[in-house]
Chain A
Amino acid sequence: MMHGFANPTRFLKLARWLTPLLLCSGLGIVGAALAYSLLAAPAERLQGETVRILFIHVPSAWLGMMGWMAIAAASLTELVWRHPLANLAARAAAVPGAFFTALCLVTGSLWGRPAWGTWWVWDGRLTSMLVLLFLYFGYIALAGAVERDGGSSRIAAIFGLIGVVNIPIIHYSVLWWNSLHQPPSITMGNSAMAPEFLWPLLAATLGFSLLFGGIVLARMRMLLADIQAEARLRRKAMEA
């Protein structure tokens, strides 16, 4: 199945209807979940009104990490199976991944000031998330330089694979080290959250994930169109 979508024409046939569908459904679900969390959800007993920030902060943290997992999976696919679209998928996931990582850090800081009394602490969770943002910047710069100077895209793919080491560090940081950050509230099949917070949080996470998928597909289509245009121009120049 994977090699079936190695054909750009087949990929475009799928992506043409999937891109607007993901973007529109994502916007609708995110809009409904955030409207509920802002206007209808109750204040939490300990956190007060700031609990509403978590409906943006938690999906952002999830997508920041999933974005790098997508880069690593696409990099592995490129290195092992030489899938022609894998490099595009990795590059397309980098900018939205960096955006959601930055959004996670900013919203976390906005939550931390009234809840912890500080904008920032150098603990394991916050620092490893900041390292993830710097990894994204490094990947974007490296992939851009490879594209511009005509180097091998395998360099960026190897960087994408090495960077994945940071993901379990982020996840387990609150368990390994003393941290102001609370341990995970949602684990496989279990939740420490009340239903009036859990369901809108899951809806917001689904909505942001659909949006992320739509943005990645749109960016893949942009990168593919640029490559096809440049290839056509080169062919014309050689024929002239």
Chain B
Amino acid sequence: MREALNQWDFVLAAYAIGIIGTLALAGWSWLAMRRAEARRDRIRKQR
């Protein structure tokens, strides 16, 4: 017997994981880059 699955549940789960994960990775990479460059510039300015 075939169980009744709502296909939209699977579609929405895939989109939620894909979009949230991609945004988190891009945001994390951008913030980590900004933090590392700010630290480097701060060390360069120190006498």
Contacts and interface: CB of A to CB of B under 8 A. Distances in A.
Contacts of B11: 38, 49-50, 52-53
Given A211-B26, A225-B36, A49 B8 contact: yes
A57 interface: yes
Interface in A90-111: 95-96, 99, 103, 106-107, 110-111
Interface residues of A, number: 40
A222 B39 CA distance: 10
Contacts, number: 97
B7 A48 contact: yes
Contacts of B18: 56, 60, 103, 107
A-B residue pairs, 10 tightest by C-beta = A225-B36, A56-B18, A49-B7, A229-B40, A218-B29, A222-B33, A225-B40, A222-B36, A218-B33, A53-B14
Interface of B: 5, 7-8, 10-11, 13-15, 17-19, 21-22, 25-26, 29-30, 32-33, 35-37, 39-40, 43-44, 46
Given A30-B22, A56-B18, 10 more contacts: A27-B26, A56-B14, A95-B25, A96-B29, A99-B22, A106-B17, A110-B10, A222-B32, A229-B39, A232-B44
